């Protein structure tokens, strides 16, 4: 099993259970928060979209048990010198702390780091919530690696102790470090605003500066950093930039493909994604947005940025901008083709108007519907539409997969 500079797609619990003991130097984990939200994510390049769910119908205890299994595996794969940084917020931080005390041991708790920021809304009553919690645990209370010198920051004041360069306490003399101080356990690091060059549209994306501090302090160049909830890949990108090896896991095929692009842009070469769904049976098990993303990506197309009132258009072919509709269904019938005809006609009217404005009145209109199978009347309706000048191609998922694998 490849364990360095690779991305695994799928449930991190299943992947971690296949891994050997004590081979990871540092784990940063940013799991779904217990916030009962549902995000619809559109990445800034407009090419990827996914549903990002953070819902726990079984309540907080269901969430903690879900996390417990994964934290047990995280501890198992850590070296004796290794550490875990678990990122959470007020919804579940206190429950997670108790659970981690049980798994890692109360004495191996090192810090509750408070990450402060200013972005976001403010309540009408009460104090604005402007921080997350990062729980820092070591595998062993004595052996864990920590390099505070690598993350020193300037002193806030230039007077008194700092200006004199020394401080006497009893018979001891303390000298000011010219490189600054080791940060306290509260960090003010700006969250990503909408104008940030780092921002990809991922709702829980963390700034690279936050990961840089953690990775520098708790690993050495050449060490292995793992992120089992890798999302858009910030952890592995920063690890790559800092000369660490890395291992990323995420359940979303869309997120895995995004992090592959990001880490290769950061200098990694020929990054492999292991576990991407490829068979018909695996594709049937994907969530709707993930299935849609996979199909359109396999066709070399781009996903539609509009997911509400999109007129049944889920994406477009890359070169010709032909609309694509994706159905995760068997036996798609005539009503679906009828509705797509209407969407296709409206789209054609807009495109023809744009072509005329560019003084180029030529535009070939075609649409594609992808599904697991189609009924006889669906094919008959597509043939009828073609006889009237409206071309609709009915593609099966099997045909898309076959073409993708060639």
At 33-68, the pLDDT tens digits run 887 676 666 555 555 566 666 767 778 999 999 999
Identify the domain boundary among 256, 274, 292.
274
Q: Say whether both 387 and 293 belong to one domain.
A: yes
Q: Say whether both 248 and 128 belong to one domain.
A: yes
The CATH number of residue 321's host domain is 3.40.1350
Domain that holds residue 157: 150-181
Q: Say whether both 248 and 324 belong to one domain.
A: no
User: What is the count of structural domains for the chain?
Assistant: 3
Q: Say whether both 128 and 269 belong to one domain.
A: yes
- Length of the chain equals 406
pLDDT in the model for residue 308: 45
pLDDT in the model for residue 94: 96
Q: Say whether both 202 and 176 belong to one domain.
A: no
Q: Say whether both 304 and 332 belong to one domain.
A: yes
Identify the domain boundary among 219, 254, 274.
274
Q: Say whether both 177 and 239 belong to one domain.
A: no
pLDDT in the model for residue 107: 97
pLDDT in the model for residue 219: 98
Q: Say whether both 52 and 103 belong to one domain.
A: yes
Which residue's structure tokens are 């679906």?
A: 336
CA angle 160, 165, 169 (to 5 degrees): 75
Identify the domain boundary among 252, 274, 296.
274
Q: Say whether both 240 and 298 belong to one domain.
A: no
Q: Say whether both 234 and 256 belong to one domain.
A: yes
Query: Is 165 inside a domain boundary?
Result: yes
At 154-169, the pLDDT tens digits run 887 765 666 666 666 6
Which stretches of the chain drop beneath a pLDDT of 70?
36, 38-53, 55, 158-169, 202, 306-311, 354-363, 406
Q: Say whether both 248 and 385 belong to one domain.
A: no
Q: Say whether both 21 and 88 belong to one domain.
A: yes
pLDDT in the model for residue 147: 97
The CATH number of residue 76's host domain is 3.40.50.150
Query: Is 1 inside a domain boundary?
Result: no
């Amino acid at each position: 099993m490849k364990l360095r500079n690779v991305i695994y797609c799928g449930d991190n619990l299943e992947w971690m259970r296949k891994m050997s003991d004590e081979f990871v130097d540092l784990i940063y984990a940013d799991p779904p928060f217990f916030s009962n939200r549902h995000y619809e994510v559109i990445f800034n390049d407009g090419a990827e979209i996914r549903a990002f769910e953070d819902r726990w119908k079984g309540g907080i205890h269901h969430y903690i048990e879900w996390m417990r299994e994964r934290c047990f595996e995280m501890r198992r794969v850590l070296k004796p010198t290794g550490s875990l940084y678990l990122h959470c917020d007020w919804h579940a931080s206190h429950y997670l702390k108790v659970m981690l005390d049980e798994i890692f041991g109360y004495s191996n708790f090192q810090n509750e780091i408070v990450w402060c920021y200013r972005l976001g809304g403010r309540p009408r009553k009460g104090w604005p919530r402007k921080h997350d919690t990062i729980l820092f645990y070591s595998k062993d209370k004595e052996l864990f690696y920590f390099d505070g010198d690598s993350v020193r920051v300037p002193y806030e004041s230039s007077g008194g102790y700092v200006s004199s360069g020394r401080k006497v306490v009893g018979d001891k003399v303390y000298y000011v470090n010219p490189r600054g101080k080791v940060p306290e356990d509260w960090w003010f690091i700006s969250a990503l605003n909408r104008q940030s060059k780092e921002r990809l549209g991922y709702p829980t994306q963390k700034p690279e500066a936050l990961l840089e501090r953690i990775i520098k302090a708790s690993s050495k160049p050449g060490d292995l950093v793992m992120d089992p909830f890798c999302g858009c890949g910030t952890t592995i990108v920063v690890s790559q930039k800092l000369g660490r090896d890395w291992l990323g896991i995420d359940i979303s095929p869309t997120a895995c493909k995004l992090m592959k692009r990001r880490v290769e842009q950061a200098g990694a070469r020929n990054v492999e994604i292991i576990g991407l769904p490829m068979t018909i049976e695996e594709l049937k098990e994907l969530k709707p947005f993930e299935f849609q993303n996979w199909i359109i990506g396999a066709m070399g197309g781009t996903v539609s940025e509009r997911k509400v009132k999109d007129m049944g258009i889920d994406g477009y072919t890359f070169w010709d901008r032909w609309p694509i509709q994706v159905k995760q269904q068997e036996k798609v019938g005539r009503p679906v083709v009828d509705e797509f005809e209407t969407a296709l006609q409206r789209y054609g009217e807009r495109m023809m108007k744009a072509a005329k404005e560019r003084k180029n009145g030529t535009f070939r209109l075609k649409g594609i519907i992808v599904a697991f199978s189609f009924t006889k009347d669906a094919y008959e309706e597509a043939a009828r539409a073609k006889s009237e000048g409206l071309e609709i191609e009915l593609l099966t998922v099997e045909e898309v997969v076959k073409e993708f694998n060639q």
